[in-house]
A and B are shown apart, each in its own frame.
Chain A
Amino acid sequence: MNYSFQFGAVFAAWPLLLEGTWKTIELSFLAMLGGLAVAIVCAWAKTGGPAPLRWLVNAYIELIRNTPFLVQLFFFFFALPAIGLRWSAHTAALTAMIVNLGAYATEIIRAGIEAIPRGQIEAGLALNLKAHEIFRYVVLKPALKAIYPALTSQFILLMLSSSVVSVISADDLTSVASNLQSQTFRSFEIYIVVAAIYLALALSFSTLFRAVYRRAFDYPDRR
């Protein structure tokens, strides 16, 4: 091997890389918020809604979970504008991420709702807790505790898979890498550095999420 690595051009572009990193974080957070909103509505529809609505939500979940994110992205970016919906690459990317996460998070939240045994609510009533106290301490907190690990790892998966949006030229860390690559031709060095940034992001988020879990949910339960 007689290749000399030259990271100079990559590190010289650090303001661009920083901006790209921030855009990836922003995109993931927006998608997480939107996806959670979709998922809460769908989980409600799936556990207590009328039959046609349940059927519709199931179709949505199965359709999204059994097709690749890249194809969903192409669908939102190429197919929907062809039938008259005009939007930017960024909006198409964000919408695809929200729709994708919504399907996965619905199943997670449904599991959380079903994780609260009825006897626990009855125990709260027997202890003469008020309705809002029961909701807050007996339903909401244990439900959040039950879904927290799955939800946070889904967030990290979402952040990593968001790198695919660079394919439709939406702005994110990987698209910064592709632009730098075409300017400097240092593709190997650039992708090493960018992969390291993603790894650092994934590690920091999982450390952060674990710290929050320890502060908020660290109490013994039956499981």
Chain B
Amino acid sequence: MRTFGPNDFLFILEAARWTLALSLIAFIGGAIGGLVVALSRTSDIPWLRSASAAFIQLFQGTPLLLQLFLIFFGAPVLGFDINPWVAAGVALVLNSSAFLGQIWRGCVEAIPRGQREAADALSLSYRDRMRDVILPQAVRIAVAPTVGYMVQIIKGTSLAAIIGFTEVTRAGQIINNATFQPLIVFSTVAAIYFVLCWPLSLLAAGIERRHRRVLAR
């Protein structure tokens, strides 16, 4: 048994890049998926609306941990070769697609109906209406909750530790097994997450405050 030293700290700190990499994959994939979900959810085609509603309900109504287990244990059964990287990436992308889709749907629906009617009156196509009228306005409302959701993504990547993906939490477990100093190890782990998440939380709150001031004016 050894005591917790600088090398152990560096081991945990270096694992932070895998937390960041996984968060980035989840956010980029989730943003693409979320846009598709949000557009389907607000579309005029009934089956697209109900399919995206079912998708959102499925991923918001079940624990992220079980989504991770289903993909990690289910993929080999369906004949795919899978490692913790892919399983964690796919689960987090699908999960963030559902949550971001739901958030962005709210932002699209917050744009006054008159905007859409004006676009229709100008006989803009669906593409032009979305690209030039609705989305540019929706994006401004969406920034604060999206930055806020990034915090949820970073925290969500910790669950990948359970299927053996070595990010910050798993690195902490490994060091804890070697040093038996859980207090300092898990304080370090928590501090790393805090340093990653807190600036984003402050940013989200700041943007939201500014928006409210603009709206109140």
Contact = CB atoms under 8 A, between A and B. Distances in A.
Partners in one complex: yes
Interface string A165-199: 01100000010010001000001100110110011
A198 to B, nearest CB: 5
B31 to A, nearest CB: 21
A68 B63 contact: no
B203 to A, nearest CB: 12
B201 A66 contact: yes
B66 A163 contact: yes
A144 B13 CA distance: 44
Given A192-B70, A199-B62, A3 B78 contact: yes
A66 B197 contact: yes
Given A187-B69, A191-B74, A198-B66, A79 B187 contact: yes
A203 interface: yes
Given A66-B151, A66-B198, A67-B194, A74 B65 contact: no
Contacts of B216: none
A167 B65 CA distance: 10
Nearest to A78: B182
A69 B161 CA distance: 13
Given A1-B79, A71-B193, A74-B172, A202 B61 contact: yes
Given A82-B182, A83-B183, A191 B70 contact: yes
Contacts of A177: 66, 69
A187 to B, nearest CB: 4
Given A68-B158, A82-B182, A3 B169 contact: no
Contacts, number: 122
A160 interface: yes
B176 A67 contact: no
A113 interface: no
A181 B74 CA distance: 13
A199 B58 contact: yes
Given A75-B186, A199-B61, A202-B61, A63 B73 contact: no
Contact of B189 (A3, A71, A191, A194): A71
Nearest to A187: B73
B139 interface: no
A195 B194 contact: no
B158 A71 contact: yes
A39 to B, nearest CB: 18
Given A74-B186, A188-B77, A63 B194 contact: yes
Interface string A120-164: 000000000000000000000000000000000000000011111
Given A66-B197, A82-B180, A203-B57, 18 more contacts: A1-B78, A2-B79, A62-B198, A70-B169, A71-B186, A71-B189, A71-B193, A74-B173, A78-B176, A79-B183, A79-B187, A160-B61, A161-B63, A163-B66, A174-B65, A198-B61, A199-B57, A199-B62
Interface of B: 57-58, 60-67, 69-70, 73-74, 77-79, 151, 155-156, 158-159, 161-162, 169, 172-173, 176, 180-183, 185-187, 189-190, 193-194, 197-198, 201
Report, nearest first, the 7 A-B pairs whose CB atoms are least far apart: A78-B182, A68-B158, A66-B197, A163-B63, A202-B61, A187-B73, A68-B155
12 contacts: A1-B79, A63-B194, A66-B151, A66-B201, A67-B194, A71-B193, A72-B190, A74-B182, A163-B63, A167-B162, A195-B67, A195-B70
